[in-house]
Structures are given as C-alpha cells and as structure tokens.
Amino acid sequence: MSASPADADGGRSGPNGDVGGPSGDAAGRSGRVDGPGGGGQADTRAAAVLAVRDDATCRVREILDRVGDKWTLAVVSELGRGSQRFTELRRAVPGISQRMLTATLRGLERDGLVRRTVHPVVPPRVDYELTELGRTLLDTAWALMSWALEHMDQIDDARQQYDER
C-alpha cells in the first residue's frame, strides 16, 4: 500500500497536496480551510487562477534572472551613455570576457532591451544601443549599482563577521 501525500508530510497537506496558505495557516492555495469534502467549482476556479499566477511568477523570475545578473546591469548601465561598439563595451566593463559579453548582448537583444546594428563597411562595424524598453531599465540599474557601491563596505564587514563564526 502506498503512502498518501498527507502521510508523506505528516498530515499537513490539503486534498491537492497543498501545505497551507502564505501565513502558514490551514488555508490552502484556494484560501479555504483544507479538510474532507473539499473540491467543487471554487477549487476549479482557484486552480485556474493559481496556474496563471504561477506562470506569471515563473516568467517574472526569468526576466529578473536576465536583468539582475551582474553583467547585464553593467552592460545596460554602460549603454545608457549611448551607442557603443563591442570592443568599447568590453573595455568599459571590467572583468567581462568576450564570450560573456557576447552572451549578455544576445540575451538583451532577444529580450528587446538592446538593438544591434550592423553597418555594411569593411571591416564590419557593429553598434549596440538600448532600445526604448531598455532605457526604462536604466533608472533601476543605476539605482541598484549605486546601492551596491554605497553599501559595499557594510556588506564586506557582514561577510567577514559571518565567516569568522
């Protein structure tokens, strides 16, 4: 005989395997108290709403993964100064490798944040610039970078204290 989901988690889960509401109470994701006799139209509607919410949450995480990594913030910040060539960007972003800059720019271009313009000259010339959508990210990128610079010493101190434990 196999164990039910309720047995596997000590009886804390609801009829759909939900462990409880956001506050840790007995309310499941549908907001109703878990218990026998559940189900019905309310649970079906709740499941549909949650599926949309979960999909949106996943997509938000994807976007934050793109815009929140250290290279993206540095590249967006640098492109906030204006259109630049690949080599100019590479020199302006300390520590970034050619491969990482290429991957970052491709991701930003794919997400509609950067425009890549190839000029038909010999040797080929490629410029990168922020799109209108990319410019909307500038204030946030600059704010995050400013915050990091402002609190860098405090974070270093906290890390040192933690490591000494």
Instruction: Give 91-134 pLDDT, tens digit per residue.
Output: 999 999 999 999 999 999 999 999 999 999 998 899 999 999 99
pTM greater than 0.75: no
The per-residue pLDDT for 15 is: 41
Summarised one tens digit per residue, pLDDT across range 5-48 is: 444 444 434 444 444 444 443 344 444 444 444 566 777 777 77
Candidates 54, 42, 49; CA nearest to 15 is: 42
Strands 125-130 and 84-85: antiparallel
Structure tokens, 35 = 């218990």
- CATH architecture for residues 69-157: Orthogonal Bundle (1.10)
